């Protein structure tokens, strides 16, 4: 089953021919939406990383594929990004050409506290088999090179592989398992019960708190209030998640879109959530470019962030965490669209709108999650990733921007972690648009984004953090590193066929 039409699928490839770079050489999507075509700069980057990888692999006496899986290979990819897009990522040629230096840096940062509160896997027996092709595409695009030689199955999108890619293949220490609802019950990614079970399984395995879980609520669906009561009373979720678009998986079937500031429909649910002791409301917003709007114009008003401010003002005890930061230009748009808009008026829909909410409404309980927006903009035009991050910090504060990756759709999140560690807003853009530098990988801004903000929101204490260094997952990861399995860097999606 796929979410795309047969005509759209005919234009797509599982990306078996794409080059396996540590950083994607072309935009890739799940089959929820069409990916963007490879841009001239992405083609330029592909040439650079191929040449550099070949040169370094020959020097080290290993295959290019093997080299590009190393820390030095990742470093080389960021150097090629700088040569293509300008000095946006903090990386030196000495580091790229000296594997020992790259390994030492990676080891030094491996203990950094990363709390990723936006992750996914699929349920057993799912009908959403199109995600298999999603994995193949991203592997060939370079997000995860080992998918090139490994036949993908639905098992790669399920719980066991999720554990590997989140906790063993990346520096992530704590994660939240999320989900998505559908008008078709079988097409929920995970039921609320399944998310709670996954949380219990991971925390039981670790012997520590390593996983949080959402309960998805669905305003307007038949019996939705009863289901919310059940989740709050019996499943004890750590936060509540909602899709104001309604059914995002099958937009053509979406019958129950809603607004955050609907006093009659949704406010009674907020009251229940607050009384249950839950304070975090995570909301899917954005990923609705003009091409999608043309097909589903009736859903546009539910996908922007214009309903966030009033709801946040009316419910100051709740935190409204806006997933994807409201970024409009993924899912059928392009980072070039976002950059063109930014050059015209200094704005990026609907990120800039989100960043302006605290000043406009006088609230301090609105947060931005970087899931998918950071991945999509980094590979297409890292200037957009820098501007998005900078605008969110300027408007919301560095203490209100939160780490999320939308993995494992995009595979192990390690390449995204490395991208933020190295990302910097060019000085010319800082001065022109009044943006503050992001600073070093372990500096105060990135430390807050990677983990401190989510830890504060979810009351994850310093004592709980300290226990992560010697729990069972830490032991497994130590063994995993010693036996040489290595990070697979897998990711999953479709790529548009080259013309």
pLDDT tens profile 359-406: 999 999 999 999 989 998 998 899 999 999 999 999 999 999 999 999
CB 49 within 8 A of CB 41: no
CB 384 within 8 A of CB 330: no
CB 3 within 8 A of CB 108: no
Going edge to edge, which strands form the sheet with 115-119? 115-119, 174-177, 211-216, 239-243, 280-284, 319-323, 366-369, 401-402
Average pLDDT in the 473-491 region?
Answer: 74
Q: What is the C-alpha to C-alpha distance for residues 415 and 424, in angstroms, rounded to an integer? A: 16
Phi, psi of 321, deg, nearest 5: -100, 110
CB 32 within 8 A of CB 67: no
Closest C-alpha among 175, 214, 204 to residue 413:
175
What pLDDT, on a 0 to 100 scale, did the predictor assign at position 26? 78
Q: Using one digit for the tens of pLDDT, what is the confidence trace for 313-354?
A: 999 999 999 999 999 998 788 899 999 999 999 999 999 999
- Asked whether the predicted pLDDT for residue 453 surpasses 60, the reply is yes
Assigned domain for 67 exists: yes
Domain count for the chain, please give it.
1
Q: What is the C-alpha to C-alpha distance for residues 474 and 219, in angstroms, rounded to an integer? A: 40
What pLDDT, on a 0 to 100 scale, did the predictor assign at position 480? 86
Assigned domain for 391 exists: no
Assigned domain for 226 exists: no
Q: What is the C-alpha to C-alpha distance for residues 251 and 216, in angstroms, rounded to an integer? A: 17
Three-state secondary structure call for residue 87: coil
Assigned domain for 164 exists: yes
Rg of the chain over all Cα atoms, to the nearest angstrom: 21
Closest C-alpha among 116, 42, 111, 112 to residue 77:
42
Assigned domain for 221 exists: no
What pLDDT, on a 0 to 100 scale, did the predictor assign at position 258? 98
Q: Using one digit for the tens of pLDDT, what is the confidence trace for 206-257?
A: 999 999 999 999 999 999 999 999 999 999 999 999 999 999 989 999 999 9
Confidence of residue 129 (pLDDT cuts 50, 70, 90): very low
Name the residue with tokens 């992560």: 468
Closest C-alpha among 152, 162, 165 to residue 195:
162
* Cβ neighbours of 468 (radius 10 Å): 18
Closest C-alpha among 71, 67, 132 to residue 417:
71
Average pLDDT in the 467-482 region?
Answer: 91
CB 166 within 8 A of CB 488: no
Domain that holds residue 419: 12-170+407-423+461-499
Closest C-alpha among 369, 359, 383, 382 to residue 432:
383
Write the DSSP symbol of residue 175.
Answer: E
What pLDDT, on a 0 to 100 scale, did the predictor assign at position 141? 57
What pLDDT, on a 0 to 100 scale, did the predictor assign at position 203? 96
- Asked whether the predicted pLDDT for residue 489 surpasses 80, the reply is no
- State the chain's mean pLDDT as an integer: 88
Assigned domain for 101 exists: yes
Q: What is the C-alpha to C-alpha distance for residues 439 and 421, in angstroms, rounded to an integer? A: 9
What pLDDT, on a 0 to 100 scale, did the predictor assign at position 440? 97
Q: Decide which of 109 and 35 is more confident.
A: 109
Average pLDDT in the 22-37 region?
Answer: 70
Assigned domain for 495 exists: yes
Q: Residue 58 corresponds to which tokens in the numbers above?
A: 């020959």
Q: Using one digit for the tens of pLDDT, what is the confidence trace for 271-292?
A: 999 999 999 999 999 999 999 9
Assigned domain for 112 exists: yes
* Alpha helices in 224-334, H assignment, sequence order: 224-230, 267-275, 290-295, 308-314
Question: What does DSSP say about strands 366-369 and 12-13: parallel, antiparallel, or unpaired?
Answer: unpaired
């Amino acid at each position: 089953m796929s979410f795309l039409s047969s005509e759209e699928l005919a234009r797509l490839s599982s990306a078996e021919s794409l080059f396996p770079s540590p950083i994607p050489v072309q935009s890739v999507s799940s089959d929820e939406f069409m990916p963007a075509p490879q841009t001239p700069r992405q083609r330029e980057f592909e040439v650079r990383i191929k040449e550099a990888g070949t040169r370094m692999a020959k020097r080290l006496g290993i295959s290019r594929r093997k080299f590009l899986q190393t820390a030095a290979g990742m470093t080389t990819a960021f150097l090629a990004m700088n040569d293509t897009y300008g000095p946006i990522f903090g990386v030196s040629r000495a580091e790229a050409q000296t594997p020992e230096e790259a390994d030492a840096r990676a080891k030094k940062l491996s203990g950094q506290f990363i709390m990723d509160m936006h992750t996914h896997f699929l349920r057993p027996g799912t009908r959403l088999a199109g995600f298999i092709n999603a994995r193949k595409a991203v592997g060939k695009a370079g997000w995860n090179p080992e998918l090139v030689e490994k036949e993908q199955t639905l098992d790669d999108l399920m719980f066991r592989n999720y554990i590997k890619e989140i906790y063993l293949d990346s520096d992530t220490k704590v994660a939240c398992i999320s989900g998505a609802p559908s008008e078709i019950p079988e097409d929920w990614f995970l039921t609320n019960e399944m998310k709670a079970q996954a949380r219990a399984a991971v925390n039981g395995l670790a012997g520590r708190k390593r996983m949080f879980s959402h309960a998805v609520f669905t305003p307007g669906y038949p019996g939705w209030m009863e289901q919310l009561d059940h989740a709050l009373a019996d499943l004890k979720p750590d936060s509540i998640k909602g899709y104001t678009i309604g059914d995002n998986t099958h937009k053509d079937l979406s019958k129950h879109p809603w607004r955050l500031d609907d006093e009659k429909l949704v406010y009674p649910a907020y009251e229940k959530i607050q009384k249950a002791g839950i304070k975090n409301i995570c909301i899917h917003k954005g990923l609705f470019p003009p091409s999608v709007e043309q097909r589903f114009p009736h859903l546009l008003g539910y996908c922007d962030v214009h309903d966030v401010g009033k709801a946040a003002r009316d419910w100051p005890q709740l935190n409204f965490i806006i997933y994807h930061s409201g970024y409009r230009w993924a899912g059928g748009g392009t980072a070039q669209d976002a950059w063109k808009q930014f050059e015209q008026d200094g704005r990026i829909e609907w990120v800039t709108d989100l960043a302006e909410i605290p000043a406009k409404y006088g609230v301090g309980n609105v947060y931005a999650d970087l899931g998918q927006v950071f991945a999509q903009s980094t590979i297409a035009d890292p200037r957009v990733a820098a501007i998005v991050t900078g605008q969110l910090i300027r408007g919301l504060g560095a203490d209100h921007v939160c780490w999320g990756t939308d993995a494992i759709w995009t595979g192990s999140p390690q390449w995204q972690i490395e991208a933020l560690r190295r990302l910097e807003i060019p000085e010319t853009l800082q001065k022109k648009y009044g943006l503050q530098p992001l600073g070093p990988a372990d500096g105060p801004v990135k430390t807050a984004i990677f983990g401190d903000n989510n830890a504060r929101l979810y009351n994850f204490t310093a004592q709980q953090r300290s226990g992560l260094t010697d729990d069972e997952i830490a032991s497994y990861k130590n063994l995993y590193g010693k036996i040489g399995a290595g990070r697979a860097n897998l990711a999953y999606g479709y790529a548009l066929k080259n013309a």
